[in-house]
Structure 1
Amino acid sequence: MELKDLIAKRRSVMPDQYNSKPISKAVIDQLLEAANWAPTHKRTEPWRFKVLQGDSQEALGVFLSEKFKSTTDKFSEFKFNKLRENPKKAGAIIAICMARDPEASIPEWEEIAATAMAVQNMWLMATDLQLGSYWSSPGLIDYMDEFFSLAPNERCLGFFYLGYYDTPSPERIPKPLSDKVEWL
């Protein structure tokens, strides 16, 4: 598939759409290798990943749902159940983390942008492998240091859900580029 077609085909495929086909370590390694080629200012390579499969996914769901229950003013049984069940629906979850350059030699937003580019590389590779994926950044992300062992300069930015699927997401048609570009 040509790169421009791959970019246009990339979609968010949600956990409810995943089937039960397992994802091999070799496939996850391909995604992580693609991520590792992302551009990065001053070669800080701030992306860090934590791969969850099996019992660790279920543990994540329990943690997220219980943390939601203990911290919200507006409890919703629906949201509680979704937080608990979605991790189990995925073939794997990759926690997206960023380790800030200890010297703070570049602005933090550049470290976040580099990590996002690493995720985009994974997303494009997943699309090429016909693997569904979705970046979730729940409001509970600020509590992930209670679930993961994070370095002092590291923080979790979200979860990259992965799963094989039977029915693709609908085609996305972006708004016209002319609405977003000004030629000077």
Structure 2
Amino acid sequence: MNNEYLNRIIRERRAIFPSQYNDKPVSKEFIRVLLENANWAPSHRLTEPWRFKIVMGEAKDRLGTFLSDTYTDITPEEKFSPFKHKKIKNKCTAASAIIAICMQRDPKERVPEWEEIAATAMAVQNMWLTCAANEVGCYWSSPALIEYMNEFFDFEEGERCLGFLYLGNYDKEEDITSKRNPIDEKVAWYD
């Protein structure tokens, strides 16, 4: 393994937003690799709580309509934003694929729920790093609308949506630099 390459991928991983995607589709073969890498995330007691629902093609339009209609239904008139309504639909249209990030709670509740949420997040990190290594854009969004996804998807008992991973190819000349505050500001050493 090339440690420097791994360090670079981790440090250069960025959110690439649907508005930055081009028209080149992300292949189903790549999505299968993405999902297989997600499946290797750690989970306490091997509960493997991650579940994914892949939305492509016309289903993206149905999801965009569902989300924008739900936004309209749940938003008080005085807080309704036509801009946000349009943006919700446009994100779905702009993405090549959308992965609904779901978590299946262990029926025996052998581990705390936060550990299963964390394991699902680690599965998403595996997908995000895979996207970064393959120069595919992705973005995790967890809007309040995820609370209504049981009206769009069929969920198993104990399963719920934690957000959406939008996928799309993008033009590499886009500036995607970012920065982090120094790690020393976030660490306390005890010897």
Q: 1:24 aligns with which of 16, 22, 27?
A: 27
- Confirm or deny that 1:165 pairs with 2:170: yes
- Confirm or deny that 1:83 pairs with 2:88: yes
Does 10-19 or 169-178 show the bigger shift?
Answer: 169-178
Q: 1:139: how far off?
A: 1.0
> CA–CA distance in 1 between the matches of 2:27 and 2:133?
16
- Confirm or deny that 1:92 pairs with 2:97: yes
- Matched residue of 2:24: which SS? coil
**Structure 2 unaligned residues grouped into runs of 5+:** none
What do residues 103-139 of structure 1 show as CA deviations (whole Å, max 9, x unaligned)?
0110000000000000000000011111000001011
Q: 1:170: how far off?
A: 2.6
What do residues 57-99 of structure 1 show as CA deviations (whole Å, max 9, x unaligned)?
1111000000000101210000000111110100111100000
Q: 2:74 aligns with which of 58, 71, 74?
A: 71
1:9 is matched with which residue?
12
> CA–CA distance in 2 between the matches of 1:68 and 1:169?
32
> CA–CA distance in 1 between the matches of 2:80 and 2:131?
34
CA contact (8 A) 1:48 1:96 kept: yes
**Structure 1 unaligned residues grouped into runs of 5+:** none
**1:1-184, aligned counterparts within 5 Å?**
2-73=5-76, 74-166=79-171, 167-184=173-190
CA contact (8 A) 1:18 1:163 kept: yes
| Aligned-residue CA RMSD (Å) | 0.9
Q: How many residues align?
A: 184
CA contact (8 A) 1:15 1:90 kept: yes
- Matched residue of 2:109: which SS? coil
Give the residue type in structure 1 aligned to 2:169.
Y
Identity %: 54
TM-score by length of 2: 0.94
TM-score by length of 1: 0.98
CA contact (8 A) 1:12 1:135 kept: yes
Q: Which runs of 4+ in 1 moved over 2 A?
A: 167-170
